[in-house]
Structure 1
Amino acid sequence: MAAAGGLWSCADPSRWAAVLECRGAVLRARAGPQGRLEALDRWYREELPAAIKARAEKHVTRDELERLLAWKLARGRFRPRLQQLVAANTPELVVQRSAAAFRLLPDMHAAVMALCALRGVGPATASAVLAAGAPEVAAFMSEEAVAAVPGLPALQDTVKHYLLYLSRVQERATALSQGSAFGLWTPHYVETALWTWAVGRKMCPDLLPNLGPSPVLAEDTKPAKKRRTQAE
């Protein structure tokens, strides 16, 4: 059984890595017998990044954006209206706006805004696109990961909220990378570990490692404010 203190309060990179290794088992528990989420997650983490990297100019296609949205909705809360909106974008516009977004990095505000010009794409979906193509600087804004970061205001699907969240995640990635046998921690890895911990605590706590006592950062001793979830 994992400790009740929460992953964010743990400063040991080896324990974060142990949580990350549980992702597959937690994902299977979350996906259920049909396993659709497993297939979508494998595509998002392996095939999509490879496809983006192989292109002369980084971008995503409309088909990829629709599939990415299906992954996002399967991982969190299902909102069919978003799928209809995303499908209304022309293939040319999706390529144009996503290519512009990747060119604008590391200006995260500008990159997210470029993607948000597409119908059905808010900061959360934009963050998933950027994390797939630039995991070294971007992290998906999942509800579970946001809720795991203490001190953030109530969850909002806004660029301002994403930048606050990303700043904290980037700082944690830098801290975990120092002296870590795991290697370089990216914001993408940090989000994945936070999601794994949060979902695993609810669905299969016995699969998670015991974090045990570990150093606690001063910022993590502050009580988190109550959060409310708004539309993504």
Structure 2
Amino acid sequence: MLLPGTPSDQVGEVLAEGDGDITTMFVSMARRHPDGADADYLRWHTLDHRPEQHRLSAVRASLRLVSTPRCRAARTVSRPPYDAIDHVMTYFFTGIEGMGPFLALSKALGDAGRKLPLLPPVERGVYDVSARAAAPRIKVGAHVLPWWPARGVYLLLENGTAAVEELLDVDGVAGAWTATSLPVSERLASAPAGQTLTYCFLDDDPVGVGERIAPALDARWGADGVDPLLAAPFHPVIPYEWERHVP
């Protein structure tokens, strides 16, 4: 379906009204549940823990992703230890100063008996958003992609940086954000500083996009200094359909 009008990123009057204020991402990447209770964990997190984070003025959006067996089969690159990742949780912040209240809220919820044991972690990081782009066909601007209803995300974890615009030529890729990991306290993160994370926001089945994106990724990784660690499609959690997308 072709949406009407001029894309937001081409209209100065639209851009002048705001950019969403997101500069920072907190990303937690984890393994599947050790007892196979992934759906129960997703239910708790989506109904209880995740909504509470939005009481923080610094939290502007959130996104939870899950890898299924079909998603795993469609991965282009999956190196240890990142091949163990089946869950990705992202909070979008107005700035790194939001991390203090974020930790304080987590403690308060834990003290109130409101937390389940975390999924086994693979890596956590605090990332500075460095690049954004949206395909003109979706009309909405690149800055509002975290609120856009994506059918999935193709996630790239890399050492080195490359432009995101060439990925928009892949059918099903509606936009992309790239962010770079920051040196922060071990309480917050384990990701090495300078690592890059790219979210390709999708409007088609993520497994299908995962098959089509491979040539663009080969070209991307042919550039000097870009080393892939994980290239994988993920589904978003569907509320109240907790069993629909699980590892």
Between structures 1 and 2, the one with greater helix share = 1
TM-score of the pair, normalised by structure 1? 0.26
Between structures 1 and 2, the one with greater strand share = 2
TM-score of the pair, normalised by structure 2? 0.25
